[in-house]
Amino acid sequence: MIAPATIVNYDIENSSVEYDGHGWKHLHSVSLFLATDSDVMQIFPIFLLTHSVEVTLLFPPHPSKMEQLAHVQRALMSIPGSAAVVRYVKASHQDDPFRTILELILVIFAIRTLLMNRTRSDQSGKNFVKLTEKEIDDLVDEWQPEPLCSPLTPEEQADLASVPVIVGPTGPKPKLASNGKTVLNFASYNFAGLAGNDFIKERAVETLRKYGLGSCGPPGFYGTIDVHLQLERDIAFFLGTESAILYSQAFHTVSSVIPAFCKRGDIIVADRGVNFAIQKGLQISRSTIRWYDHNNLKSLQEVLESVDRECRKKGSKLTRRFIVTEGIFEGSGQMVDLPKIVGIELKKKYKYRLVLDESISFGSMGRTGRGLTELYNVPATEVDMLVGSIANGLCSAGGFCAGSRVVVDHQRINGTSFVFSAALPAMLAVAASEAISILTSTPSALAALHENARLLRSTLEKCSEYIDITSHPASPIIHFTLRTQSAPSLLPSTAEIVLTKSNPHTQAVPNPVQFDIAAEEVILQQIVDESINQGVLIARARRLRGQEGVEPRPSIRVVCSAALGKKDVERAAGVLKGVVGKVCSKRKGMSVFPLNPAQSGTKALQPNLTFAFELCHENAQFIECVCTGSEYTDLEKHSHELGRTDLTVSAWLFLEVVLGSASEFSFRIPSGRCRRAVRNSIDAMYATKLNFAQPPGIAAALPADRERIHIYEILKSKMDLSSSGNI
């Protein structure tokens, strides 16, 4: 017989238990039918749901268990915050009972996850194999880590080895680690001579002792201190803008400013010769990029008209439009005509905003170093976003963007480099503020800079037979390239090449190779090395080949400084003039003409030399030879394809004797057969008195007949004395 049902009522608020064999008619919210006495403990979570729960049992429970249950409930209710949890569960259960069940399952799962073992023991796992100590040692010995990057090529190793190392602090006259010599520094950006200023160093030391070394956080997260805000105010007041924002890296400044305002669908009209940082900013923005010819305002106007005409024809909605250019171009030293861009003919007429990068002109141009706005007497408010480098002009670190308060405040949230980079160290901010104060109070420093630039440029212009100066006459950096008949890739004709798209909204800049980069860099590096040996530190304008939008012409960059006196500049100018003449005079007799006139669209403008010379062997052979070390392998390969090792050797002898470039074209003879070919080739050339036949119209500087025998004796002695076969 089944015992009569017992109604159990548990009042949570009064913590009391009542039994009524005949049932209880109080209001209740839950009724459960339990089969056993032990099931009472399973209904405990239900007691937390309501104030009154009615439970129907088939078997009467023991009173002591209900008292235990009440004791547990009282203990839980004594926990701080438990009443709020109970009220939440009650309200949630009344609205959605299934939500209560789901939350309970999630809580159980979370508790199980926290309590479970995070790692397996040595014996767990079906596929676990325990290795002996010897096996572990063998695996460790056999393991070869993969390199983090590909090894350097011989050209990259030579390029890296050519970088001079300075001992001690930099300045106008640093000391080199290679030979211990003190050289005149025409390679560092020290326009106003602020590097090494004693007063700035004292203020930096004081700031270091007060604030410490680093900022310990991004500007928006406890990284900004009072000296950063003061520097922003100093820059804004110095340039004449409403506000300014400070970035901790100069390179990331413009590459962060552009994508902060330019998004997909916006139109950017940019100069083809902008620096690499601007190119990265344009790429990140994913805007529609339209390029105009380098520093050609007529081309800029044509592009603006074309964009306006296309938008009117398509009836497209109004988009944000920007003009992006540099004040003084980092890659060429040319200067933009700012008044014409901000005038009514371009910017205002076509309703564009102007982004001007003054990383070179800030701190170097104008009476007090305010840049092109001061030089051309253009209000800084006419430039929507004025970007500059604190590292170049003020000899500190970081960059800035000055403009209206709206433009600056927008970057504090949307400028990626500002938001996600640590703030500038306090001592560098103070150094920049002091540099601005010096420029404002002593404009004579920049007057000396401009005088030194004019003096150095006037001397280099006398080498116009060998070099072309691409920089603006007022620019403090002087770029010069080798004077050849090859055309720079920034000419308007190259803009007509069909563009290839890098993404659906951005067209990549055409990249036609119209000059022999490796050949010109070899010659320019010879000029740099010889200048350093004679006490003048200059540098090649190094590029990221293959990543630039337009491959710039290889050039040497000479940076003037106000810290050097007139005698120092005159001495450096004389050294550069002599070195340029010495290195380039070896190639004075070379004619530069296309490798193949029919290839006018590809290699026609490469400065390679085609010398067709006749060798006095059984059959007259004509081969094409180029006078650069990097392309000598092409000549060697061509000769081996003809099965004539002596052709390669004879071609080398021609370059050695006629062009006088022994060190550039020396190579090692690997076998006795090749050594005999060298000797036979020398004998054959001596027997014919080195009489080369040339195609009509090609001039070559052949030595006189009486000198050829002497050359032969030298070559013969080299063969006799060289046991290793290194000619």
Query: Using one digit for the tens of pLDDT, what is the confidence trace for 258-284?
Result: 999 999 989 999 999 999 999 999 999
Kindly indicate the confidence band of residue 719, based on its pLDDT and cuts at 50, 70 and 90: very low
Q: Are residues 349 and 455 in the same domain?
A: no
Model pTM greater than 0.95?
Answer: no
What is the per-residue pLDDT for 319? 84
Q: Report the percent of the chain where pLDDT is more than 70.
A: 66
Flag whether pLDDT at 198 surpasses 70: yes
What is the per-residue pLDDT for 444? 82
Across 194-222, average pLDDT: 90
Task: Show which of 541, 556, 587 is a domain's final residue.
Answer: 587
Instruction: Using alpha carbons, select from 104, 7, 10, 105 the residue that is nearest to residue 50.
Output: 10
Flag whether pLDDT at 287 surpasses 90: yes
Across 519-538, average pLDDT: 91
Instruction: Using alpha carbons, select from 167, 171, 252, 185 the residue that is nearest to residue 557.
Output: 185
Q: Are residues 437 and 449 in the same domain?
A: no
What is the per-residue pLDDT for 161? 87
Instruction: Using alpha carbons, select from 26, 27, 10 the residue that is nearest to residue 18.
Output: 10
Q: Are strands 166-167 and 175-176 parallel, antiparallel or unpaired?
A: antiparallel
Instruction: Using alpha carbons, select from 498, 563, 454, 450 the residue that is nearest to residue 173.
Output: 563
- Let me know if residue 643 belongs to a domain: no
Q: Are residues 213 and 245 in the same domain?
A: yes
Amino acid at site 258:
I
Instruction: Measure the CA–CA gap between 189 and 369, rounded to whole angstroms.
Output: 14
Question: Any idea what DSSP says for residue 248?
Answer: S
Q: Are residues 309 and 458 in the same domain?
A: no
Q: Are residues 365 and 413 in the same domain?
A: yes
Helix axes 250-261, 276-285, angle to 10 degrees: 30
Q: Are strands 6-11 and 52-57 parallel, antiparallel or unpaired?
A: antiparallel
Kindly indicate the confidence band of residue 24, based on its pLDDT and cuts at 50, 70 and 90: very low
Q: Are residues 285 and 328 in the same domain?
A: yes
**124-140 residue pLDDT tens:** 556 778 889 999 999 99
Domain total of the chain:
3
- Let me know if residue 559 belongs to a domain: yes
* Cα–Cα separations (whole angstroms), residue 517 to 158, 359, 606: 15, 26, 9
**225-265 residue pLDDT tens:** 999 999 999 999 999 999 999 999 999 999 999 999 999 98
What is the per-residue pLDDT for 248? 92
**541-585 residue pLDDT tens:** 988 877 887 778 899 999 999 999 999 999 999 999 999 988 887
> Of the segments 85-99, 279-293, 337-351, which one has the largest average pLDDT value?
279-293
Q: Are residues 285 and 184 in the same domain?
A: no
Q: Within 13 Å, how many C-alpha atoms sit on residue 591's CB side?
A: 14
- Let me know if residue 23 belongs to a domain: no
> For residues 35 and 7, is the Cβ–Cβ distance under 8 A?
no
Per-chain mean pLDDT for the chain: 74
Domain assignment of residue 561, given as a range: 163-192+445-484+503-587
What is the per-residue pLDDT for 179? 84
Q: Within 13 Å, how many C-alpha atoms sit on residue 387's CB side?
A: 25
> Of the segments 42-46, 164-168, 601-605, 682-686, which one has the largest average pLDDT value?
164-168
**373-382 residue pLDDT tens:** 999 999 999 9
Instruction: Measure the CA–CA gap between 103 and 306, rounded to whole angstroms.
Output: 62
Q: Are residues 172 and 61 in the same domain?
A: no
**173-184 residue pLDDT tens:** 999 988 888 999
Flag whether pLDDT at 527 surpasses 90: yes
CATH number of the domain within which 571 lies = 3.90.1150.10
Strand partners, 232: none
CATH number of the domain within which 236 lies = 3.40.640.10
- Let me know if residue 176 belongs to a domain: yes
Kindly indicate the confidence band of residue 123, based on its pLDDT and cuts at 50, 70 and 90: low
Task: Show which of 78, 100, 115 is a domain's final residue.
Answer: 115
Strand partners, 400: 246, 388
- Bigger pLDDT: 351 or 500? 351
Q: Are residues 410 and 368 in the same domain?
A: yes
Q: Are strands 288-292 and 267-271 parallel, antiparallel or unpaired?
A: parallel
Q: Whose structure tokens read 């006495």?
A: 37
Flag whether pLDDT at 627 surpasses 80: no
Q: Are residues 77 and 178 in the same domain?
A: no
Instruction: Using alpha carbons, select from 299, 314, 283 the residue that is nearest to residue 506.
Output: 283
Which backbone phi and psi does 267 adopt, to 5 degrees?
-115, 130
Task: Show which of 419, 441, 463 is a domain's final residue.
Answer: 441
Instruction: Using alpha carbons, select from 454, 455, 450, 453 the residue that is nearest to residue 574.
Output: 455
- Bigger pLDDT: 120 or 540? 540
What is the per-residue pLDDT for 89? 80
> For residues 492 and 299, is the Cβ–Cβ distance under 8 A?
yes
**212-225 residue pLDDT tens:** 988 888 998 888 99
Q: Are residues 378 and 242 in the same domain?
A: yes
- Let me know if residue 472 belongs to a domain: yes
- Let me know if residue 435 belongs to a domain: yes
Flag whether pLDDT at 158 surpasses 80: yes
Label residue 552 exposed, middle or buried (CB < 10 Å: 0-12, 13-18, 19+): buried
What is the per-residue pLDDT for 636? 53
Q: Are residues 362 and 303 in the same domain?
A: yes
Angle at alpha carbon of residue 400, lines to 396 and 404, rounded to 5°: 150
- Let me know if residue 151 belongs to a domain: no
Give the DSSP H/E element, type plus range, for residue 176: strand 175-176
What is the per-residue pLDDT for 355? 95
What is the per-residue pLDDT for 616? 30
What is the per-residue pLDDT for 435? 94
- Let me know if residue 78 belongs to a domain: yes
The Cβ of residue 650 has, within 10 Å, a number of other Cβ atoms equal to 27
- Bigger pLDDT: 468 or 687? 468
Instruction: Using alpha carbons, select from 383, 539, 555, 529 the residue that is nearest to residue 468.
Output: 555
> For the chain, what's the residue count?
727
What is the per-residue pLDDT for 78? 82
Enter the tokens of residue 653: 């002898």
Q: Is the dihedral of CA 546, 547, 551, 552 positive or negative?
A: negative
Label residue 316 exposed, middle or buried (CB < 10 Å: 0-12, 13-18, 19+): exposed
